[in-house]
Structure 1
Amino acid sequence: METNSSFHHINSTVKPVSSSNYYANLRYSLHIMSLCVYGVACVLGVLGNGMVIWVTGFGMKRTVNTVWFLNLAVADFLFTAFLPLGITYQALHFNWIFGRFMCKLNSTVNFLNLYASVYTLVVISVDRFVSVVWPIWAQVHRTVRKASYVSLCVWALALCLSLPAFVFRDTEVFNNNSVCYNNYALSKNYTIPSVVQLAHFRHRNMTITRFLMGFAVPFGVIVSCYSIIIHRLRRNPVLAKRSSRPFKLIATIIITFFLCWAPFHIMSIIELKKFDPSYKSETLKHVIAIGIPITTSLAFLNSCLNPFLYVFIGHDFRDKVCTSILKVFETVFQEDETNTYTKSVTSSESKRSNHSSAV
């Protein structure tokens, strides 16, 4: 997930030029670290979220909660399934070999995951709020069909917010590398001051919009919902005891999302100063060069953490996973036993037939 507005700002030198160059060595180490983190997130994300999709989609009774968690898992699975493109891009020292369309699609999927995840968490928070504050109304109107419609609206909103990434993402050959970058000016002539100014203007607006719509506003709603929920639960110990387990799981997922994505959004805003002509600082350049790989890796890790949270905190989900896995093994072993029994019976009948013929 690149935050650079132009390919001229991409650091294409990822190998250390000399052992004495501390920052070059550090950037190279961060480059290797990012590759490792992306690889781990890809493998664990695809397997873990695939398991969640299988269990919530086919192994559990369809409820409103399973609809929410299924959508979270689909968003994370889709993101991690596209991670090999980013891994290849970095492994080839920022040489994009997949073409312009895939450059646009890959970036769109990245932001689709961000928006779909955060707005699903908003919907979950509002759902919990309604269940606690208006339990009778929720009992009547809280249905799986309505939850599915709401999830569809979340995906439509996430897609609309992700479309600018498809519009502005572009490829260009630079230093013998085909780079995938944000072409906010929709022009490849960055020698014209008006073009540069337009690119910076759009870059700033896109970053601020992403911060507000993908982080600040959703978390404002989430915090408001849970503040009221906590207040209500404190006044009703019986309800608090009944809601403790799902509340604990959902709160952990939301806090994890916040911790993983907050540094990325903060670093994106700090990065805007890099493109301010009136502000030149070598320290800022080093902070951005070091901070972007770290915060991006942390954001990417979020896509593979939820399945582990379900297993360690969600007892019902863990029991269902264990039961599902046991059923698979039982089926396999039972088929073997049946086949063995069939072979044994066939062999005995054959022997008995041969014996009768001989008599």
Structure 2
Amino acid sequence: METNTSIHHNTTVNPIPSSDNLAKLRYSLHIMSLCVYGVACVLGMLGNGAVIWVTGFRMKKTVNTVWFLNLAVADFLFTAFLPFAITYQALNFNWVFGKFMCKLNSTVNFLNLFASVYTLVAISIDRLVSVVWPIWAQLHRSVRKASYMCLSVWALSLSLSLPYFVFRDTEDVQGSVICYNNFAFSNNYSNPSVIQLVNFRHRALLITRLLMGFIVPYSVIITCYGIIIHRLRSNPILAKQSSRSFKIIAAIIITFFLCWVPFHIFSIIELLRFHPSNQGNALLHVITIGMPFATSLAFVNSCLNPILYVFIGQDFKNKVCNSILKVLETAFHEDDTKTCSKSVSTSESNKSHQGTAV
């Protein structure tokens, strides 16, 4: 995600190791990151491209397909920019794509984070409304309103990502051009007031990302699903009808949480470095060693959703034998909340069947 905070007091770019073991560890992490980025790029573009093709062009538009289409677009956009990060690391942190692409690449990275998590928030609210107020949902829940919600999500996500476009910069250091966060908009780091401004802006960016990219959205998600689970326990019929789509959404949310929480934890550790009692190298080494793991795990999330769509909700053998269109149609099928049970006798009635997802 972020190469470094400032080239003048960070050692993650062209690091000078303090020992041979540390140098070997950093080199191993470097190779690991390249491999993970490469796999995430290939699988993410193929998988999310397939989801976009099916949900955008092959399936009838429903509220569910709107949610999943937007998740896939966010992940596809992210993985489409991964070759820039792969090239940057392969060239030993030498950015050859210019300042604008340095800014744009970082912006897209965090746009994926915010767009994904707030789409999950929208899905959670949609589920809550469908379970708690099913009649209202049947009358008012529509593709158009879901599309407007997604546009709002993208607008909010873009506004939260713009600071990364503003602060990102390039500079030539020892023959290599690095892409980094220049919070001072200058190279004058000898002035105490400039250093204070840099630390303030860095803290503000980290706190905003932690609050708006993790704490606030996941508080909403957990609250929604706590209410949903409580309601489903008291209504076994409703719980049975919604079990398939509930499992898929729950798996996506849990996977997103597990993939991103280490990155946010290291963001908290990075915040601790600003405390006067934590100015040594211990936390810096922890961040230098741990952040590649956390970032790689976050990157992997971008290629996992299509896999979850395929392998949750049906028997494994059946899903492998089915075509990708049939698999995704099954995964994204809207649940029927209008009746407790409904028998479908022909393929024609299957096509005409419509319901409200829970």
Same fold by TM-score greater than 0.5: yes
Specify the code of the residue in structure 2 equivalent to 1:11: T
Q: CA RMSD in A?
A: 2.0
Alpha-carbon displacement from aligned partner over 1:198-248 (angstroms, at most 9, x marks no partner): 011110011011000000000000000000000000000000000111001
Specify the code of the residue in structure 1 equivalent to 2:169: D
Tell me the matched-pair count: 323
Which residue does 2:81 correspond to in 1?
82
Q: In structure 1, what is the Cα distance between the partners aligned to 2:313 and 2:167?
A: 40
* Alignment pair present for 1:196 and 2:195: yes
Specify the code of the residue in structure 2 equivalent to 1:21: D
Alpha-carbon displacement from aligned partner over 1:43-90 (angstroms, at most 9, x marks no partner): 000000000001111121110000000000000000000000000000
SS of 2:92 mapped into structure 1: coil
Which residue does 1:281 correspond to in 2?
280
SS of 1:7 mapped into structure 2: coil
Which residue does 1:262 correspond to in 2?
261
* Alignment pair present for 1:12 and 2:13: yes
Q: How does 1:195-214 map to 2 (within 5 A)?
A: 195-214=194-213
Alpha-carbon contact 1:59-1:320 (below 8 Å) kept: no
Q: In structure 2, what is the Cα distance between the partners aligned to 1:158 and 1:105?
A: 14
Alpha-carbon displacement from aligned partner over 1:185-210 (angstroms, at most 9, x marks no partner): 22221111111110111100110110
Alpha-carbon contact 2:3-2:179 (below 8 Å) kept: no
Q: In structure 2, what is the Cα distance between the partners aligned to 1:322 and 1:268?
A: 40
Q: In structure 2, what is the Cα distance between the partners aligned to 1:60 and 1:133?
A: 28
* Alignment pair present for 1:170 and 2:169: yes
Q: How does 1:90-101 map to 2 (within 5 A)?
A: 90-101=89-100
- Cα shift at 1:25: 0.6
Alpha-carbon contact 1:100-1:171 (below 8 Å) kept: yes
Change (3 A) 1:129 1:324: closer
Q: In structure 2, what is the Cα distance between the partners aligned to 1:274 and 1:35?
A: 27
Q: In structure 2, what is the Cα distance between the partners aligned to 1:164 and 1:101?
A: 14
Q: In structure 1, what is the Cα distance between the partners aligned to 2:76 and 2:87?
A: 18
Alpha-carbon displacement from aligned partner over 1:265-323 (angstroms, at most 9, x marks no partner): 11012013335454233332221111110000000000000000000015599556154
Q: How does 1:113-152 map to 2 (within 5 A)?
A: 113-152=112-151
Change (3 A) 1:15 1:278: closer
* Alignment pair present for 1:2 and 2:5: no
- Cα shift at 1:13: 3.1
Q: How does 1:9-88 map to 2 (within 5 A)?
A: 9-13=10-14, 21-88=20-87
SS of 2:324 mapped into structure 1: helix
Rg larger for: 1
SS of 1:290 mapped into structure 2: helix
Alpha-carbon displacement from aligned partner over 1:126-159 (angstroms, at most 9, x marks no partner): 0000000000000010001111111111101110
Specify the code of the residue in structure 1 equivalent to 2:13: S
SS of 1:180 mapped into structure 2: strand
Specify the code of the residue in structure 1 equivalent to 2:300: L
Q: In structure 2, what is the Cα distance between the partners aligned to 1:64 and 1:109?
A: 25
Q: How does 1:323-342 map to 2 (within 5 A)?
A: 323=326
Which residue does 2:338 correspond to in 1?
none
- How many percent identity over aligned positions? 71
Residue number among 321, 324, 339 corresponding to 2:324 in the alignment: 321
Change (3 A) 1:304 1:83: same
Alpha-carbon contact 1:4-1:182 (below 8 Å) kept: yes
Q: In structure 1, what is the Cα distance between the partners aligned to 2:298 and 2:212?
A: 16
Change (3 A) 1:15 1:305: farther
Q: Could you say which structure has the higher helix fraction? A: 1
Which residue does 1:332 correspond to in 2?
none
Specify the code of the residue in structure 1 equivalent to 2:67: W
Alpha-carbon contact 1:5-1:200 (below 8 Å) kept: no
Listed as ranges, the gaps of 5+ residues in structure 2 are 329-358
Which residue does 2:243 correspond to in 1?
244
Alpha-carbon contact 2:4-2:12 (below 8 Å) kept: no
Alpha-carbon contact 2:103-2:168 (below 8 Å) kept: yes
Alpha-carbon contact 1:273-1:279 (below 8 Å) kept: yes
Alpha-carbon contact 1:35-1:90 (below 8 Å) kept: yes
Listed as ranges, the gaps of 5+ residues in structure 1 are 326-359
